Chains A and B, each alone.
Chain A
């Protein structure tokens, strides 16, 4: 809350101090578009006042009869995106963890899979999104048919699995040789070692990985919505309201703030999860 307020104050302060037309270096007289802009514009069009944004959020989205306030529309869209992002996060966590276990179990799998896991994240999302959409739409068995929200889930999970796979592997490998030797001296099998020693030990590494995965899932969801044409989410709303940037400058900011809120909620959710996992964390610090 204090952070949000500070940001708003900073925004207004720059708006007050900064030149309305920004600061341009090397502009030639009479040549349109010349020069390099070093400071952004502060005009009401480029940076609407924070109170104008708040006022706009309360106003109805359009003058159409029964139109909901913009804020409600944004919240509903954010909720839809949250559902998709959560699903993407979950799929990503499951896949990431499964990969980590595979890599832990088989040295050869670590050598074979890890480079591809890292490589997978270098594929640009904008190239990937239409591909996933196309492949997905070919899938059809029985009553099941591919929906555009599924493409969004896949893209979100594609971004989310990476930190989990890498973080979980690191965590599972973290116990000292002494601890592992102790387990061995108990004649504990691979699975027992996993559940008694490796899993609890991985928690401190897992929690930041889950947090990263949540942030990635939200970003993936917003970008994928814009890309693949899933309607009803916050990404879509950002695209829809972008056209109002010239004439109703406060309007496009509402869904952007909605996306920020979405990210905060996702982060809060992981923090809650971390609280549940904290007993294991303490065990680690004691050890």
Chain B
């Protein structure tokens, strides 16, 4: 038995060492502690919706370029995972701020989450429904009696709003994977895709008929922004109670937004820098795919109609209205009653924008032009 115990002890030591080695790169202090003396940085945690990628490039640039540090914040960016629902993690008090899509957050608010949208970073929706060019699917009205791919889990509402609007019927919703193989193999007629991710996956795949990469002409795309059923996506959410009761937290919210905006401006002016920053932060996505994503994300933000992050009332109302009206294939809907007062506020983002404009920062990006990204096979 003795030998066994020694071996177990050695195994434990080795395991602990391995674990420590594995964690040391992650920046592991969570930022709930209130032990900040004057002059020290305020620890802040920011929960993302998904893995480290250029979709969140502005935040990684804000950190890499020290914008938050200059404002006195020590922000820890926490990547998402399959079972992490950012707005619920936020409502549970596990993080200080979270990134989430508005319809998903509205559902959580109705379920009791006390959270507030403090900055609508993406002004446009990045969701597409992609079909083959020769399928005859040009708009949502053509989706009747078709096999429609969707990820579900709150990602499907724009699709259903579109289907409801044109009274489509007889369609089947198929649970879609992370890849686009179902569409490429013609198992479904139309696949859900984000402009910045899955659509690029299609254009990085080799067309077995030509031996070349697929081209945009090979596909027809339904863009919910054009159909008019786009809903607001990535926004920064804060804890409503803490905003109301804790002046220090409210001040942190302004600084967080301010630093993030500077990061997003850097991504606008140099998408390659954003792609590099997220790759440095541990993303294993291919280089051309990452640059494509950075560029497509820019298109969702810039040019900004009323300053990046400012929540446009008409867009908010449209999202809420669709959330109230739309039913998915199970008859569920996002929300049943209007969201409570204080589900969004421009108080903090406007202060951040005013601070930046006073420094001569361009928060509108009126002259923004996207770059041309050439995708390579596999996005590598």
- Is there contact, CB below 8 Å, between B25 and A32? no
Q: Which of B178-236 contact A (CB under 8 A)?
A: 178-181, 184-189, 197-198, 201-202, 204-206, 208
Give the nearest-CB partner of A244 in chain B: B378
Contact (Cβ within 8 A) B284 A229? no
CA A206 to CA B63, docked complex, whole Å = 50
In the complex, chain B residues whose CB is within 8 Å of the CB of A220 = none
* Chain A: minimal CB distance from B47 (Å): 9
Q: How far is A232 from B28 in the complex, measured between Cα atoms in Å?
A: 13
Docked-complex contact A32 and B186, CB < 8 angstroms: yes
Is the pair B22, A239 in contact by a Cβ cutoff of 8 Å?
no
Looking across the interface, which residue of chain B has its beta carbon closest to that of A269? Answer: B11
Instruction: Please judge, given known A-B contacts A147-B23, A147-B28, whether A80 and B379 are in contact too, CB under 8 Å.
Output: no
* Pick from A226, A247, A276: contact of B3, CB under 8 Å: A276
Flag whether A87 is at the interface (Cβ < 8 A).
yes
Q: How far is the CA of A246 from the CA of B172 in the complex (A)?
A: 23
Apart from A32-B146, A62-B287, A244-B379, what 15 extra A-B contacts exist at CB < 8 Å? A33-B147, A33-B189, A45-B184, A62-B286, A63-B286, A64-B279, A80-B22, A83-B16, A84-B15, A90-B15, A147-B23, A153-B19, A229-B83, A233-B22, A246-B181
**Closest 7 pairs between A and B when the two form their complex, measured CB to CB:** A83-B18, A248-B378, A229-B81, A80-B22, A247-B204, A245-B179, A86-B15
Count of chain A residues near B, Cβ 8 A: 62
Chain B contacts to A: CB under 8 angstroms = 1, 3-4, 7-8, 11-12, 14-19, 21-23, 25-26, 28-30, 32, 51-52, 78-84, 92, 94, 146-147, 172, 174, 177-181, 184-189, 197-198, 201-202, 204-206, 208, 276, 279, 282-288, 290, 376-380
Chain B residues contacting A45 (CB-CB under 8 Å) are 181, 184-185, 205
| Interface stretch (choices A3-11, A102-110, A128-136, A185-193) | A128-136
* Contact bitstring A146-159, B, C-beta under 8 A = 1, else 0: 11010001000000
Of all chain B residues, the one with the shortest Cβ separation from A153 is: B19
- Decide: B7 and A276 in contact? CB cutoff 8 A: yes
Q: Which of B18, B83, B184, B279 contacts A86 (CB 8 A)?
A: B18
Complex contacts, B187 vs chain A, CB 8 Å: 32-33
Contact B188 A229 (CB under 8 A): no
Q: Does A145 sit within 8 A of B, measured CB to CB?
A: yes
A73, B284: Cβ atoms under 8 Å? yes
- A195 surroundings in chain B (CB, below 8 A): 1
Q: How many contacting A-B pairs (Cβ < 8 A)?
A: 182
Q: Is the CB of A229 within 8 A of B184?
A: no
Q: Is A240 an interface residue (CB 8 A)?
A: yes
Residue of A nearest to B190 (CB): A32
Can you list 9 A-B contacts (CB < 8 A)?
A33-B174, A133-B84, A149-B22, A225-B81, A229-B78, A239-B81, A244-B179, A244-B378, A246-B180
Does residue A199 face the partner (Cβ distance < 8 Å to B)? Answer: yes
A281 to B162, CA, bound (A): 68
B181–A83 contact, CB under 8 A? no
Bound complex: CA A73 to CA B285 (Å)? 13
The answer on a CB contact under 8 Å between B178 and A243 is yes
Q: C-beta contact mask, A244-279 vs B, less than 8 Å → 1, else 0?
A: 111110010000000000000000010001001100
Closest B residue to A63 using CB positions? B287
Minimum distance in angstroms from A112 CB to a CB of chain B:
28
B19 and A246 contacting across the interface, CB-CB below 8 Å: no
Q: Contacts A227-B81, A240-B284, A247-B201 known; A62 to B12 CB distance under 8 Å?
A: no
Which of A32, A63, A87 lies at the interface centre, i.e. has the most chain B CB atoms within 10 A of its CB?
A: A32
**Given contacts A63-B380, A199-B1, is CB(A237)–CB(B284) below 8 Å?**
yes
Interface of A, secondary structure class, is helix
For the complex, is A82 an interface residue (Cβ under 8 Å from B)? yes
**In whole angstroms, how far apart are the Cα atoms of A62 and B32 in the complex?**
35
Query: Given A83-B21, A134-B92, A229-B78, A247–B205 Cβ distance below 8 Å?
Result: yes
A241 to B380, CA, bound (A): 12
Which of B7, B179, B287 lies in contact with A246, CB distance below 8 A? B179
- Indicate whether A242 reaches chain B with its CB closer than 8 angstroms: yes
Please report the C-alpha to C-alpha distance between residue A32 and residue B83 in the assembled complex, in whole angstroms: 31
> In the bound complex, how far is the Cα of B239 from the Cα of A192, in angstroms?
59
Given A63-B287, A145-B29, A231-B79: A248 and B279 within 8 A (CB)? no
What residues of chain A lie closer than 8 Å to B174, measured between beta carbons? 33
Q: Is the CB of B287 within 8 A of A64?
A: yes
CB contacts (< 8 Å) of B81 on chain A: these are 225-230, 236, 239
Taking a contact as CB atoms under 8 Å apart, the answer to whether A247 and B287 are in contact is no
- Interface check A46, CB cutoff 8 A: yes
Against B, the Cβ 8 Å flags (1 = close, 0 = not) of A83-106 are 110110010000000000000000
Structural contact, B15 and A248, CB atoms closer than 8 A: no
What residue of chain A has the Cβ atom nearest to residue B85's Cβ?
Answer: A130
